[in-house]
Structure 1
Amino acid sequence: MAWFTDSGYWLGRLLFQRGLAALYLVGFLVAANQFRALIGERGILPVPRFTARVPFGQAPSVFQLHYSDRFFAGCAWGGAALAAAMIAGAGDAVPLWASMVLWAVLWVLYLSIVNVGQTWYAFGWESLLLETGFLAVFLGNDEVAPPVLVLWLLRWLLFRVEFGAGLIKMRGDSCWRDLTCLYYHHETQPMPGPLSWFFHRLPRPLHRVETAANHVAQLGLPVLLATPQPVATWAAVGIAVTQLWLVASGNFAWLNWLTILLAVSVMQLPGAPVRELPGAPVWFTVVVCAVTAGVVVLSWWPARNLVSKGQRMNASFNSLHLVNTYGAFGSVTRVRQEIVVEGTSDAVLTAGTEWREYEFKGKPTSLRRLPRQFAPYHLRLDWLMWFAALSPAYGSRWFPGFAAKLLEGDRDVLKLLAHNPFPDVPPAQLRARLYHYSFTDFEELRSGAGWWKRTLIGDYLRPVRRGDLRP
């Protein structure tokens, strides 16, 4: 069946699969390095407590069957090792069925982590990685040319990612419609990068051009993905370029890189060597057709969401995170608020009490530190600190437990921070204060003021002692 496969996409598939394996590797490394503090047996939101109240059907996971920190670590490091092997080409070195099994194992392991990760894993790029990883199971290896149906499913996914994000903006904050959102976004985004200060200081007319170009990339180019080649390739290139702009201007974990990989799966690269691969065996054809039919059925919910006036962002309609809806920044904050956590060794507070600040790895605390580039690595605690600063409701489930861990001097939690001002003995008391942060201007930067300036808003958490808070 010549219609079922297309050898012209072999190079795009190769780049897509290797890149996807690399992002799986990052995801598993993030899980291995952070889980003990966040969701471990003694973590802020322990998995056993979660699985005791949430049934398997609502959150399918191998950790519903058994959980221990050692077992979780084994799954995370095992997933990382398998992802590294897939980067090296293990999927093409084995028979087709075995390659599908390897991709499926990666998907099951990461699904198991996401489904018990609770608020720490409630990000759109988790569902995006899972949906993309599921489709990769059926993309084949060197034993078969890329299946056309799966290539179209990847285009449908890329369309939802981009078009959904474009629609949520146009339906949301008025600053997207008057082209002023980027007056604020580079400064107020969850985790600025090393170039964000410079992006923020671009002339305002260029910010308006940025915003207009974003609308073209998210509302215009996705429509062209359904057109014949080479138009579809050029549309995908345009999307990829826009995503690279976002990579340069901020830290959004693997969202941008995964979107770029989806765009690569659309491309027929000019000058690529011609390589004819065998057609699909009958059993593989049957499986791919069945999966495609299933995705078409599940597409009803996200398609309806796209045309709905009450469009939802980053929502999964099933516990397997298949065929989701995506979108980001339907509203843009105009003012950046940051929580600064401080401790003191004084058992009794006086006017002379010295408060020392905890430093986070990614989110702004120190005024003189240039923001660092972490993406595609994901600092989950830092991201949720940004949400908690928007409203205490966002931190109500986990922030008290985080503060309690700092008062205990919990080593796993402290590993998530850049600087612990109490290396020997935990603080006697802890507090959190809310500040308004903003970038300095050129004059202030030249005078040595640093990259940020801040103004105190008030208390976020009043001084507490050990035992006052419970996870």
Structure 2
Amino acid sequence: MEWFTADAYGLSRLIFQRALAALYLVAFLGAALQFRALIGERGMLPVPRYVERVPFGRAPSLFQLHYSDRFFAFCAWAGCAVAVALLAGADGLLPLWGAMLLWLIPWALCLSIVNVGQTWYGFGWESLLLEVGFLAVFLGNDEVSPPVLILFLLRWVLFRVEFGAGLIKMRGDACWRELTCLYFHHETQPMPGPLSWFFHHLPRPVHRMEAAANHVTQLAVPFLLFTPQPVATVAALLMIVTQLWLVLSGNFAWLNWITVVVAVTAVDFSAWRTPSRFAPAPLWYEVLVIAVTVLLLALSYRPVRNLLSRRQVMNRSFDPLHLVNAYGAFGSVSRVRQEVVVEGTADPHPREDSEWLPYEFKGKPGDLRHWPRQFAPYHLRLDWMMWFAGLSPAYARSWFGPMVERLLDGDRDTLRLLRRSPFPPESPPVYIRARLYRYQYTTWRELRDTGACWKRGYVREFLPPTRLAAPARKP
């Protein structure tokens, strides 16, 4: 069927597939390096305890069938290996059916991890990677031209990501309608990047222009994705530029990067490169792609209803396989940045004047002189949740206590998640406390005079001095 394929998008598919493989690699690497402290057998929220109370049908996962830290590590590193193979173009060396199976492996492994990841994997970009990764299975390889229906579904994903984010802003915080949210956002965002301090100090008219441009890109431009070329290409390029601006302004894991990757599939490169000629698609492949398209359009009913609802929710999965999801970000913007600072002391009788030494995290602000680093697309899961803890203790109820216990026990896996621990694993603190501070960016003059990019003021106690009832037994 001639209408089934689109030769002009061969290069778009190639760029998309290699970039998606790179994002898979980042995701699996993060899982391999962080899981033991977060969801491992001795982690803060252990997988075995979770699968005991959640049935397979609600959270399909290989780890529902068997879990051990060794098996999880094997799956995570296997995902890295497959991602590297896809990045190197291994799918192009296989027959069409073999390439599809190869793309299915990282999707299934990623699904298995996300569905047992609990709080640590409750972010919208997890579902976005799964939804896009599922579509990649059916995009084909060099044997066939990219299927029009899958390209359409990728634009449908991109539309929901952008339009959903635009609607949640307009329906949410009044500062988006007043174009003032960016007066605060660069300072209060979850994990600032190396340029965030400078973005915050841009003139306020520039912040208003940023907010207005964001509304145009998210509320108007997405509809142009479904128009003829070259208009659809222009729309996709506008989205890419906007996302790269966000990449410069902060650390948002792979959210911005995967949005860029999906937008590439709407770009027609035929003006710069003659389209390749492909063999006709086999009948079984056409039938499978049509069936998948019908299924995903049917599953789109609930995400569309959510988009149209005045009670729109962000980042919601409506099926356990995360095939079609609702997206959105920053429906409300914090005006004040509050950070939980965790401190320990070796004093067996802690007092206010005891020597309390702070734990330093890799991405979240702590040391006033420590300039933020660039981590995205890598996702520092504990640092992100520490930001939520600063918003409300309710966000930390399930994991903060277990984290403190592991710090008091000198747990090496937990300490590896930190930038610096003031206590070596063999000599953990006797007591730990946590205090809440308000953090603000310094001014230009304060930065020059002190060398500090942050200043802070004490707010209240978050956790009183706490010690272990009895030392935990080392394995």
Quickly name the TM-score band, shorter chain normalised: over 0.9
Q: For the residues of structure 2 that align with 1:14 and 1:410, how far apart are their CA atoms?
A: 44
Partner of 2:2: 2
Q: Quick check: 1:13 aligned with 2:16?
A: no
Q: Quick check: 1:425 aligned with 2:447?
A: no
Please state whether the residue corresponding to 2:21 is helix, strand or coil.
helix
- Distance change (3 Å), C-alpha of 1:238 and 1:351: closer
| Unmatched tracts of structure 2, length 5 or more | none
Deviations 1:392-418 (A, max 9, x none): 000000000001100000000000000
Partner of 2:304: 303
**Normalised TM-score (structure 1):** 0.99
- Deviation, 1:279, is 2.0
Q: Quick check: 1:363 aligned with 2:330?
A: no
Deviates more, 1:24-33 or 1:275-284: 275-284
Partner of 1:199: 199
Q: For the residues of structure 1 that align with 2:371 and 2:73, how far apart are their CA atoms?
A: 33
Query: What pairs with 1:37-76 in structure 2 (closer than 5 Å)?
Result: 37-76=37-76
Alpha-carbon contact 1:254-1:376 (below 8 Å) kept: yes
2:309 maps to amino acid:
S
Partner of 1:220: 220
- Deviation, 1:467, is 2.4
- Deviation, 1:350, is 3.2
Q: For the residues of structure 1 that align with 2:100 and 2:275, how far apart are their CA atoms?
A: 25
Partner of 2:467: 465
- Deviation, 1:458, is 1.0
**Normalised TM-score (structure 2):** 0.98
% of aligned pairs identical?
66
- Distance change (3 Å), C-alpha of 1:351 and 1:22: closer
Q: Quick check: 1:172 aligned with 2:172?
A: yes
Q: For the residues of structure 1 that align with 2:447 and 2:245, how far apart are their CA atoms?
A: 24
Partner of 2:25: 25
Q: For the residues of structure 2 that align with 1:157 and 1:307, how far apart are their CA atoms?
A: 16
Alpha-carbon contact 1:403-1:469 (below 8 Å) kept: no
Deviations 1:120-156 (A, max 9, x none): 0000000000000000000000000000000000000
Deviations 1:418-467 (A, max 9, x none): 00100140000000000000000001001024000000001000000112
- Deviation, 1:288, is 0.2
Q: For the residues of structure 2 that align with 1:95 and 1:275, how far apart are their CA atoms?
A: 18
Alpha-carbon contact 1:17-1:136 (below 8 Å) kept: yes
Q: For the residues of structure 2 that align with 1:195 and 1:267, how far apart are their CA atoms?
A: 29
Q: For the residues of structure 2 that align with 1:189 and 1:86, how far apart are their CA atoms?
A: 33
Partner of 2:344: 343
**Once superposed, which parts of structure 1, at least 4 consecutive aligned residues long, lie more than 4 Å away?**
none
- Deviation, 1:277, is 1.1
Partner of 1:454: 456
- Deviation, 1:351, is 4.7
Query: What pairs with 1:295-444 in structure 2 (closer than 5 Å)?
Result: 295-423=296-424, 424-444=426-446
Alpha-carbon contact 1:193-1:248 (below 8 Å) kept: yes
2:20 maps to amino acid:
L
Q: For the residues of structure 1 that align with 2:350 and 2:361, how far apart are their CA atoms?
A: 25
Q: For the residues of structure 1 that align with 2:232 and 2:249, how far apart are their CA atoms?
A: 26
Partner of 1:129: 129
Deviations 1:17-60 (A, max 9, x none): 00000000000000000000000000000000000110000000
How many residues align structurally? 470
Please state whether the residue corresponding to 1:456 is helix, strand or coil.
strand
Partner of 1:80: 80
Q: For the residues of structure 1 that align with 2:19 and 2:280, how far apart are their CA atoms?
A: 24
Please state whether the residue corresponding to 1:56 is helix, strand or coil.
coil
1:135 maps to amino acid:
L
Deviations 1:63-85 (A, max 9, x none): 00000000000000000000000
Q: For the residues of structure 2 that align with 1:351 and 1:82, how far apart are their CA atoms?
A: 53
- Deviation, 1:469, is 11
Alpha-carbon contact 2:409-2:471 (below 8 Å) kept: no
- Deviation, 1:224, is 0.3
Query: What pairs with 1:158-307 in structure 2 (closer than 5 Å)?
Result: 158-269=158-269, 270-307=271-308
1:54 maps to amino acid:
V
Please state whether the residue corresponding to 2:326 is helix, strand or coil.
coil
Q: For the residues of structure 2 that align with 1:329 and 1:259, how far apart are their CA atoms?
A: 16
